[in-house]
Amino acid sequence: MLYFLLVITAIVLLVDLLLIVLWLFNYQDEHEGITGTPFVSILIAARNEEKNLGDCLESILAVDYPADKFEILVGNDNSEDQTGEVADAFAIRYPQVKSYTIVKQKIKGNGKANVLAQLARKAKGEFLFITDADIKVPRQWLRAMLRGMREDVALVTGTSVVIGANLLAYMQQIDWLFATGMLKVVSDLGIPVTTMGNNMLLRKRVYEEIGGYEALPFSVTEDLELFNHIKKKHRTVNLFNPEVLNESKPLNSLYALLVQRKRWLRGAFELPFIMVALLAMQASFFVIILLLLLIDPSIALAVLAAKFVLRYIFVSLVVYKLNNRVNIIGSLIFELYAALFSLVSLVYYFIPLPIEWKGRKYT
């Protein structure tokens, strides 16, 4: 048993070391794409976002891009609060903003995909930006994402980080940075993995070529489903720099995080094997440590220390690319959080409960 556990831990630690090496020596970014100002459309599906939508729209309206070269299409997805009124107020004040109340159900099941499908048909831009209503974008967002859109590229994914004032928000922040860092490493190896529905750019003609969301099968992770169809015939790239870094609002409870992870895990099992393997190893590490503690506590503590050092180095490199630093005490706390929460998330995933999103339930 000890030999088996040591082999597994060695593999996990070697993978962590490999992530660091690849980040240092194989990091790639795209800067040779579109440098002009084509007309673009920004799509936002909003459900019960009255507290967030205003900040999101303000950040987009402040981008460094000609005001007559972009439009913002907001689709109010049967909200139970004042989301529609917020969108309407912005549409009155700013000609770039167009507010729609989505009542038709052209796509069964996924409300967000249904909204985005209808907004895309109304969009006038040759490029579609997709983000969420709880996101704030940086000033260079449009230009920086377009620079990744080379002639042979159909879809560009930026990155996102959770920003909040409490400890739980900070745990989510490190978690996102670690996950998106892994995503960037794998993507730079030429393995298309996934996209993020809160920071995505795609060519409208490619979107129409695959038939749009209307032609896709039902999925609770509609962004991944779209990505999987586009990558079959077209190149995708992942960008990772401050100019494409969107800020996301944190979830405010562990239960809300569990609900979110249940939905994400449904999509995670559709990822390429290399990404599933990476996530599985990270999730199982805590169980391995517990078993090692029972057999030989000194070995367990040494492995745990090595794991912390490697993850801290990797996350520090990731954050440095975004012009920031990682708090070492926060990283120590994160190790405990990640170990426990990964295990609990996996257990919760297999409990036969429906997947929830914005007050809706999916089986």
Per-residue model confidence as pLDDT tens digits over 305-321 = 998 999 999 999 999 99
pTM value?
Answer: 0.91
Sign of CA dihedral 305, 14, 288, 1: negative
CATH number at residue 96: 3.90.550.10
Same domain, 276 and 355: yes
The answer to whether residue 187 sits within a structural domain is no
Within a domain: 20: yes
> Are residues 87 and 202 located together in one domain of the fold?
yes
Q: List, in order, residues 6 or more apart from 33 with CB less than 8 Å away.
A: 146, 147, 148, 149, 150, 153, 156
**Same-domain pairing of 232 and 353:** no
22 and 113, same structural domain? Answer: no
- 336-346 pLDDT, tens digit per residue, is 888 788 888 87
Averaged over 252-263, what is the pLDDT? 88
Question: Looking up tokens 């995708």, which residue turns up?
Answer: 236
- Does some domain include residue 185? no
Residue 189 structure tokens:
């190896």
Domain count, the chain: 2
Claim to verify: residue 44 and residue 129 sit in the same structural domain: yes
| Res 244: pLDDT | 96
Full domain range(s) for residue 212: 40-158+196-252
Same domain, 210 and 356: no
Q: Please state the separation of Cα 142 from the chain's center in Å.
A: 17
Phi, psi of 66 (to 5 degrees): -55, 135
Is there a single domain that holds both residue 48 and residue 132? yes
Each residue's pLDDT tens digit, 267-298: 766 677 777 777 777 777 778 888 888 888 89
**Judgement on whether residues 235 and 118 belong to the same structural domain of the protein:** yes
Cβ–Cβ under 8 Å, residues 1 and 295: yes
204 and 302 inside one domain: no
Boundary (domain end) residue, out of 252, 274, 289? 252
Segment (H or E) for 51 = none
Please identify, among 204, 236, 252, the residue that sits at the C-terminal boundary of a domain.
252
Least confident of 114-118, 246-250, 253-257, 337-341: 337-341
Query: What's the order of all strands across the beta sheet hosting 135-136?
Result: 135-136, 245-248, 159-162
How would you label 122-132 residue by residue, b for 16+ Cβ within 10 Å and e otherwise?
ebebebbbbbb
